Amino acid sequence: MTGPADWHLRAGGLEWDCWETLEHLADGLFAYAVQLAPARPPLDGFVPLRWQRDRPDGPPNVVFVDRAVGPAGLLQVLESGGGLLTAMVRTASPQTRAFHAFGVSDPEGFAAMGVVETLVHTHDVVTGLALPWTPPADLRDRALTWLFPEAPGDTDRWPTLLWATGRAELPGHPRRAFERWHSAPLRNKEA
């Protein structure tokens, strides 16, 4: 079992600690939901929230969790961000489009982004905390197909997703530095 001090350990290969990484994940899920929420979502920029860092090398966030509440509070905020994104994806019209730095996307694309963020940052944290974890296959496979259509299709999906996000090597393929994913609606990728 992990203790409060463990949350200060570095999260996998990131420069952030485990707490900051889950805080960043909660923030990202919240931010994706916020992008979809307006009656006319912005197509040329983010909803104008105030982003800041707790420390110079920390993640820029809108959502911060009081460390005094401990890991249970952090997980509650993370669950809330996921719930907000889920609600927005379910209620937004499939024709809704909203800005993302990697390209305008639709609700399904924001869901895929939230899944990838959740899977890879959970991987970062469990690596930092030295905990076992296996990601759900159906989620990782669909998100990999959506956001990384250039990824090899004949490799094990989990190592391929880690490779696509710059977290691991993939036999037979050059090491990849993560730069971006393809957030455009899926039907635009097939054109």
The residue behind tokens 């489009």 is 97
Contact 52, 60 (CB under 8 A): yes
Confirm whether 2 is domain-assigned. no
**Calpha distance 162→66 (Å, rounded):** 30
Quote the domain boundaries for residue 44. Answer: 8-189
Residue 1 falls inside a structural domain: no
pLDDT averaged over every residue in the chain: 92
Q: Does any domain span residue 70?
A: yes
- Determine, yes or no, domain membership for 3: no
What pLDDT does residue 191 have?
A: 41
Q: Is residue 48 part of a domain?
A: yes
Question: Structural domain tally of the chain?
Answer: 1
State which amino acid sits at residue 149: P
Query: Within a domain: residue 151?
Result: yes
Alpha carbon of residue 64 to chain centroid: 16
3-state helix, strand and coil shares in percent for the chain, rounded to the nearest 5: 50, 5, 45
The 3-state DSSP class for residue 72 equals helix
pTM for this entry: 0.92
Q: How confident is the model at residue 28 (pLDDT cuts 50, 70, 90)?
A: very high
